[in-house]
Structure 1
């Protein structure tokens, strides 16, 4: 497999959109302006956040690509891209979100370690490819299997990505075998994003998409799939992306005391107006944002306050996937349960104030009010109430401008 890829250097990075906010150049990590997120239910490829741990791989010979599937599977196989595309094509609408989304706000409470993401380290995409469960069927593992006949309990995904955290080795991650073999979980080996071939930034030619789970488990540039007895022992499963209480510091951390993060919690953010915006006194303003919850839990409601949390108004939820996305088959049985909802609320604001937003999901999970209560040294899973402050331009002053 390795000879199929060119040198992993930053000299061969793909072009990116000029509007992205770059949080680190090498490796490249960037997010779109928040206002771009609420312009479309489906996030464009250009505006989809970019999360990397090393240089973007360069595939030099597509025709020789082979995906190896083995480990503790009863049988092993090696599949070309043509063979993968001959399997039934499945399309799923799913939001991918970095576990570090909204980390910058958490660091304002106390300093945390990690890329300084604002509120746009996520995007909602239309992903198409082969179901992982269909591929596992080919190596002798039936649907809804918790433990394989050879003792496998987890499915490990291995990339060609080279990471300094893995001492120059490949990026790896895993999910439980039961989740991998369940067609209901909609885990796919994706080769298309938004109706087009995956580009290099998003995993060309093949990636895993694990809906409802933190983005770290949706491994890009997939090289092999292994059935293993225990969860993946890679750095990003065992020494990162874990949730610790506020009392844990770098001096007393015990990585083995916590499980790797999987489902992301309920999340909500305000994308318009932006923090610090100036509004005309008494004008109608449309507050817009996104909300999502992990594990297939839908959003029940969004509560918005325009008086700093004294009173709350329920926002209007978007209608989900709109018509006009021709790359989604009309007869495809896709579900929006893995996707965000966009919401809005039109209100009149007459004085400087804090606008707050919080969400409730279908399991009645609610967001915590304070970031301090969920602070952790890695700055992951900040899902506290989101707040933006708006200023007011008096009508008389505005008319003189």
Structure 2
């Protein structure tokens, strides 16, 4: 059927699809009554109308191609959409999850399994459908109610290939919070899917000095909020005798000089898995060495904005800067944390209100449209989706500040830990990791030498001076001879250092155990063992990094 005929057929059915759009509008009416942002609502209505017409176009063409098949299915099967079909095979969730690419794209709906690969180019919602790959579309349809029509159920069933195993049926009642999550690079190593937390594979860490945005590790506490840069505002409140509040759009922030800072962001729990495995269990995401990445961040300096709001340098003692993001947990509480005001007002700390990352607008996973970058500090202080900055005599009262990211000694237990008296972590210790080869790899010795690569990093602006590798459990050490770092001024080395070392091996040697340690410009060096720095949260896990590899001559 030609495009012209398809469009004519669609126009002939316009009343039917306008009613579909009206249904979508009705579904969203309750949300509209509680929204202040009419423009956003209008976009939703327009999208619903466009989607309805486009769905009609797809249905018209699809009905021609599948008319006979649908007729046969209807004669043989009277089940509704998603109901169990005894005439079709059964699939396990593990198998379905593997079909999540444009080459092979399966979804589930209730009991049904559907191969919708051929439908992907026609999906009115574009690439948003990719979030459902290998997974259920129910949460998405609960949000995008225009899907729930007889015609679309019929279209879905035309792609039916089987049934979901009863043991893999799950309660999806709270999944609607996550349906608008960004599409992520499949190379990331997913640690948790809701909230999404993923690290960069070790060998890809050393492939780029500035980590590509799509490979930058992701740490979320809640769903990623939907924000519009043209409407977004950041509110600055200064509580100093009297309360002064100012609000800035992103365009108004452009009145301040723009600057760029190259900085690595590292989760305080990076390398937690080693502490967990080598000593005893800790609580937290089991990060390996991939919860650190490097980027160039661009924006305006926080200190410039605070001074423009009337903040004086003399008022820093005992005060804090509270950063609050737009991400919200299930109870309606926004993510928040804080840093000391004196840290914020030190010009060497180069704290940014950032809008760009590696020359591009911030991706949704990394704070679009505005985030804080606190170089040299745990990444949790670099609050994403920033909506407010408050100068207060009190630290943030949020759970994430009061009950997490604090340091305890190795003897404290969850029963004896006093979070109120434990110091918050505002900087990071020196650390390093071997990235290539990985533990368990087989490597080829060339001219009696094995080449290894990795990263090193220290918080607070300290520079990496040296990385040492031991091939014999600490008896001797080989210094890395290639060090790639930025050219920042002293005490402002916020980027990581990538290094390369060449380790001699004996002829016939079959196995090699390698230890790595770094030393920073404060002459701090990594501790040898995790036993001495173990803590209940598994943070600041920076003992020697150790791997074993097999040698091929």
**TM-score scaled by length of structure 1:** 0.89
State the partner residue of 2:211. 43
1:195 has 2:363 as partner: no
Output one character per residue of 1:146-178: Cα deviation in whole Å (capped at 9) or x when no partner: 24xxxx7111000111135xx440111111111
**Change in 2 beyond 3 A, CA 1:143/1:194:** farther
| Superposition deviation, residue 207 in structure 1 | 0.2
Structure 1: which 5+ runs fail to align? 323-331, 396-401
1:70 has 2:242 as partner: no
Structure 2: which 5+ runs fail to align? 1-34, 42-142, 144-175
State the partner residue of 1:274. 438
Q: Which moved more, 1:381-390 or 1:152-161?
A: 152-161
1:21 has 2:189 as partner: yes
- Which of 401, 423, 427 is the equivalent residue of 1:259? 423
- Which of 325, 348, 356 is the equivalent residue of 1:159? 325
- Which of 263, 267, 271 is the equivalent residue of 1:102? 271
| Superposition deviation, residue 236 in structure 1 | 1.4
Q: Which moved more, 1:98-107 or 1:278-287?
A: 278-287
**Distance across 1 between alignment mates of 2:419 and 2:376:** 24
State whether residues 486 and 493 of structure 2, in contact with CA within 8 Å, keep that contact through their aligned partners in structure 1: no
State whether residues 462 and 492 of structure 2, in contact with CA within 8 Å, keep that contact through their aligned partners in structure 1: no
**Distance across 1 between alignment mates of 2:181 and 2:349:** 33
State the partner residue of 2:530. 371
Q: Which moved more, 1:214-223 or 1:284-293?
A: 284-293
- Which of 375, 384, 391 is the equivalent residue of 1:211? 375
**Change in 2 beyond 3 A, CA 1:281/1:210:** closer
State whether residues 348 and 492 of structure 2, in contact with CA within 8 Å, keep that contact through their aligned partners in structure 1: no
State the partner residue of 1:91. 260
| Superposition deviation, residue 179 in structure 1 | 1.5
**Change in 2 beyond 3 A, CA 1:346/1:3:** farther
Output one character per residue of 1:344-391: Cα deviation in whole Å (capped at 9) or x when no partner: 111232421210110111111111100111111111110000001011
| Secondary structure in 1 matching 2:543 | coil
Output one character per residue of 1:206-243: Cα deviation in whole Å (capped at 9) or x when no partner: 00000000001000000100011022121111101111
| Superposition deviation, residue 257 in structure 1 | 2.1
- Which of 238, 263, 282 is the equivalent residue of 1:112? 282
State whether residues 436 and 454 of structure 2, in contact with CA within 8 Å, keep that contact through their aligned partners in structure 1: yes
Q: What is the 5 A alignment of 1:195-344?
A: 195-280=359-444, 283-321=448-486, 337-344=493-500
Output one character per residue of 1:30-58: Cα deviation in whole Å (capped at 9) or x when no partner: 01110111111111111110000111111
State the partner residue of 2:547. 388
**Distance across 2 between alignment mates of 1:33 and 1:386:** 16
Q: What is the Cα-based RMSD across aligned positions, in Å?
A: 2.3
**Distance across 1 between alignment mates of 2:413 and 2:468:** 34
| Superposition deviation, residue 143 in structure 1 | 4.6
State whether residues 92 and 334 of structure 1, in contact with CA within 8 Å, keep that contact through their aligned partners in structure 2: no
Extract structure 1 runs of 4+ deviating beyond 4 A: 2-8, 332-336
State the partner residue of 1:325. none
| Secondary structure in 2 matching 1:291 | strand
State whether residues 317 and 341 of structure 1, in contact with CA within 8 Å, keep that contact through their aligned partners in structure 2: no
